[in-house]
Each structure stands twice: as structure tokens, then as C-alpha cells.
């Protein structure tokens, strides 16, 4: 499951990893909360939506965009609140969560860590063989996060196994 966190618009996606670099789209959508609503109400709506997705699709893993400072502290704080709700939803189901920076996702999907939204949408449409680009951009970003994790998961697993085996060898 890929999640592009946001309080106003939160992109959600589910993909199925195939052989090699093949990734199949399963579902994509955007949860919206009203900008004028109180923070607690918005977080409650976001929580309900992500919990429904997790219950419906039962993902094995969740990939979320890592929050970073974009110059507007208020926006960062709201996004951080949303991330907390999203991570909690996964934690309550014992689903592992991996976080990726926007540049990591861009590099994995397009080969360019500075790709713009249009390039990313074009690449995710091609990679997943979609008949039309996912809209809005939050949906495409959620798919890109899921694809990024599918492609990085084998390396993460091998690295974890190597670290574990080297730790076992150094124990007395």
C-alpha cells in the first residue's frame, strides 16, 4: 500500500508486486477532508478512510512519504499529524511501514530525483500500464510510493539479512 499523506488530500493506493520489476495496480484513490473543519474532525475522517482501505485490501506493507520541511511550518505540522494517524492504522494491524523521501521515490520511479509532477505521472502511467494518468497528483504519488517500495523491498530484505547474519557472527 502506498500513501501520499496530506490532511486536505491523502493519496491511497494498493499494488501487487509481480516477478522482477512487474507491479500491478489494484486500487487508487484520494481521501479528502474539508479545510474548514477542526483538526480533530479531519484526522478522524482520515483515520476512518485509511482503516477502511487497510481492512478491505489487507496490505502486507505500507510505504509512506516521509514528511520534510517545505518552508511552511503549519503545512508540515498538519501533514505530520496525518502521518501519525496513518502509521497508527498500520501499527494496529502489525503492518510494517517504510518511509521514503520524495527524491527517493522520484529517483526510483523516473531515474531522476528532481522529476516534476508531470514526469512522475507519465512514468507511473507507463510502469503500471494504465489507460490514463491517475488524477489528482496525490493518487499518482501514492502509486509511485507503492512502486518504489516494491522495487526496493528485495534490497532492503537482503540488507537486513546480511546485517542480522553479521551480528550473529560477532556475538560471543
| For the chain, percent of residues with pLDDT exceeding 90 | 78
pLDDT in tens, 18-30: 888 899 999 999 9
Active-site entry in 65, 116, 132, 164: 65
Q: What is the pLDDT of residue 90?
A: 98
Residue 104 annotated as lining a ligand binding site: no
Task: Please state the pTM of the whole predicted model.
Answer: 0.90
User: Per-residue confidence at 157, pLDDT binned at 50, 70, 90?
Assistant: low
pLDDT in tens, 91-147: 999 999 999 999 999 999 999 999 999 999 999 999 999 999 999 999 999 999 999
Q: Is the pLDDT confidence value at 56 over 80?
A: yes
Is 116 one of the annotated active-site residues of the chain? no
User: Per-residue confidence at 161, pLDDT binned at 50, 70, 90?
Assistant: low
Q: What is the pLDDT of residue 70?
A: 66
Residue 65 annotated as lining a ligand binding site: yes
Topology classification of domain 2-170: Nucleotidyltransferase; domain 5 (3.30.420)
Is 138 one of the annotated active-site residues of the chain? yes
Q: What is the pLDDT of residue 18?
A: 86
User: Per-residue confidence at 75, pLDDT binned at 50, 70, 90?
Assistant: confident
Residue 4 annotated as lining a ligand binding site: yes
Q: Which residue has the higher pLDDT, 160 or 63?
A: 63
Is 164 one of the annotated active-site residues of the chain? no
Q: What are phi and psi of 30, to 5 degrees?
A: -135, 130
Complete DSSP assignment for the chain: -EEE--SSEEEEEEEEE-STT-EEEEEEEEEE--TTS-HHHHHHHHHHHHHHHHHHH--S-EEEEPP---S-HHHHHHHHHHHHHHHHHHHTTT--EEEE-HHHHHHHHHS-TT--HHHHHHHHHHHHT-SS--SSHHHHHHHHHHHHHHHHHHHHHHHHHHHHHHHHHH--
User: Per-residue confidence at 171, pLDDT binned at 50, 70, 90?
Assistant: low
- Which set of grid coordinates corresponds to residue 75? 503545512
Q: Is the pLDDT confidence value at 71 over 80?
A: no
Q: What is the pLDDT of residue 164?
A: 74
Amino acid at each position: 500500500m502506498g500513501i501520499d499523506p496530506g490532511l486536505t488530500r491523502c493519496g491511497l493506493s494498493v499494488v501487487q508486486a509481480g516477478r522482477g520489476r512487474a507491479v500491478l495496480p489494484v486500487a487508487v484513490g484520494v481521501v479528502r477532508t474539508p479545510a474548514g473543519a477542526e483538526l480533530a474532525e479531519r484526522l478522524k475522517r482520515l483515520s476512518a478512510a485509511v482503516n477502511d482501505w487497510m481492512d478491505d485490501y489487507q496490505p502486507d506493507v505500507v510505504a509512506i512519504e516521509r514528511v520534510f520541511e517545505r518552508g511552511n511550518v503549519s503545512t508540515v505540522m498538519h501533514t505530520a499529524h496525518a502521518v501519525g494517524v496513518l502509521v497508527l492504522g498500520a501499527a494496529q494491524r502489525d503492518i510494517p511501514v517504510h518511509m521514503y523521501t520524495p527524491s527517493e521515490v522520484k529517483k526510483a520511479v523516473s531515474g531522476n530525483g528532481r522529476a516534476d509532477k508531470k514526469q512522475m505521472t507519465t512514468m507511473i502511467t507507463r510502469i503500471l500500464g494504465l489507460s490514463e494518468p491517475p488524477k489528482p497528483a496525490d493518487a499518482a504519488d501514492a502509486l509511485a510510493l507503492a512502486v518504489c517500495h516494491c522495487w526496493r523491498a528485495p534490497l532492503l530484505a537482503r540488507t537486513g539479512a546480511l546485517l542480522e547474519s553479521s551480528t550473529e557472527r560477532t556475538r560471543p
